[in-house]
Structure 1
């Protein structure tokens, strides 16, 4: 991923937090030179000093069969994004797009049955624990579990390279930066509001 120095993020704790909060990712591999992708919810796990992305996909999805032949798997996570009009600046310029994105690279392997169950149980706990009637792993019937396990393949990707970009108008002067935040807050859509919040957060963190 091309990342100008203005927008490069190197704080690993910040990156891992981003991945946890934007965990619906895109997995990209190649098959005979052709890129293929799957969009799936993913987990982030630490084992010793290493980090792993875990998840599962349908057995009928041919992508998991490419894991053995691909040296590197690309996993992409995207946060909010928003159009920024150059009419908001004090000087003439061109419009742009603000966004947050993380790319992780690593080697993928297939999970064992026990590892897959652990991954599934952890995902249910993450997304169900605060529900009124949580559907947790130990509440599922053995029959349903066995039937579902036959239809999916679990995987883990050892993270070997991390690239993160937060393009949040860091290259603009203070006046333009403040104007962009105000305009984004008034755009009336969720993504613009979230980008404005991230820009405000960046200012507070650097005060």
Structure 2
């Protein structure tokens, strides 16, 4: 079992962690091949079914990481959420700067899926990202022969997630004055991600921001 160090005050709620995985589905897949760590950045579909959580995706057929997936019970998925540099000039006291961030490490057991299962996964993914677009290219809009040909170049997999370790390091250790200052400084940046972090922080201490 892999372990990520998370101080208790930074532990993310389980349901929030699952939601973050769904909202940030472009993850890093990590496995080991004869002591050599392998990693691939890939989009995933996250689903909950009968109390369990599954992640499905695919790799290029030529990716050697594919051989580490079937019947592998030690697979790691890393999901990166919002993050931003926090300047210590925003604090009342003299202290070092830090970084605020949201991240989820999901561990589980992988298996290579069948061609039929792969087709279903790709159909679901295309529906998610294309159905709302004008002239969206959903599964049924492609020539079946093209789909069959393209699928020969990929390997599908499913990971049953057995453990989630999630961190929300968002200045929970700061006093109200510093906390409010951090939020205000992040909002001054006008950068979308920093503003989202500020909003996340506002929601944790609503009494400060009336």
Give me the TM-score of the superposition, normalised by structure 2. Answer: 0.93
Correspondence 1:66-77 to 2 at 5 A: 66-68=68-70, 70-77=72-79
| 3-state SS in 1 of match to 2:205 | helix
**Offset, 1:194:** 2.1
1:78-120 superposed Cα distances (whole Å, 9 cap, x missing partner): 0111000111011111100000000100010001111101110
1:135-192 superposed Cα distances (whole Å, 9 cap, x missing partner): 1111111111111110011000000010110111011111111100111111243332
| 1:3 partnered with 2:6 | yes
Aligned residues: 206
Structure 2 regions of 5+ residues with no counterpart? none
**Offset, 1:49:** 1.8
**Relative to structure 2, which stretch is displaced further, 130-139 or 68-77?**
68-77
Instruction: Please give the alpha-carbon distance, in whole angstroms, between the structure 2 residues aligned to 1:151 and 1:50.
Output: 29
Counterpart of 1:197 in structure 2 is: 199
| 1:152 partnered with 2:154 | yes
Counterpart of 2:177 in structure 1 is: 175
**Alignment match of 2:46 (pick from 18, 25, 44):** 44
| 3-state SS in 1 of match to 2:73 | coil
**Offset, 1:202:** 2.4
Retained in 1: the 8 A contact 2:77–2:106? Answer: yes
**Relative to structure 2, which stretch is displaced further, 183-192 or 89-98?**
183-192
Structure 1 regions of 5+ residues with no counterpart? none
**Alignment match of 1:27 (pick from 19, 26, 29):** 29
Counterpart of 1:129 in structure 2 is: 131
Counterpart of 2:113 in structure 1 is: 111
Instruction: Please give the alpha-carbon distance, in whole angstroms, between the structure 2 residues aligned to 1:119 and 1:206.
Output: 44
Instruction: Please give the alpha-carbon distance, in whole angstroms, between the structure 1 residues aligned to 2:196 and 2:112.
Output: 36
Retained in 2: the 8 A contact 1:22–1:78? Answer: yes
Retained in 2: the 8 A contact 1:30–1:70? Answer: no
Instruction: Please give the alpha-carbon distance, in whole angstroms, between the structure 2 residues aligned to 1:123 and 1:130.
Output: 12
Instruction: Please give the alpha-carbon distance, in whole angstroms, between the structure 2 residues aligned to 1:54 and 1:182.
Output: 39
